[in-house]
Amino acid sequence: EAHNNYFASLKMYEGIGNKSGITMSYNNIGNVYLIQGKITEARQQSQKSYTVNFQKYFQTFFMFAV
């Protein structure tokens, strides 16, 4: 059930463009996969989280650099 809730929150955060929430949701989904022993899926979710967080960082950086 946690898995479904995390995916629902991911969709909600994606819908409103909340990158922090998206990052957190990917991490949570990855943790569920890790607990289930699904290492490949957990790694994929962690990579997605990293990518979104990286994009968020550079958007903030360039916003203040201008």
Q: Which of 62, 52, 65, 59 has its CA nearest to residue 19?
A: 52
pLDDT for 10-54, tens place per residue?
999 999 999 999 999 999 999 999 999 999 999 999 999 999 888
The set of residues, in sequence order, having a beta carbon less than 8 Å from that of 49 and lying 6+ positions away, is 23, 24, 26, 27, 30
- Stated pTM of the model: 0.81
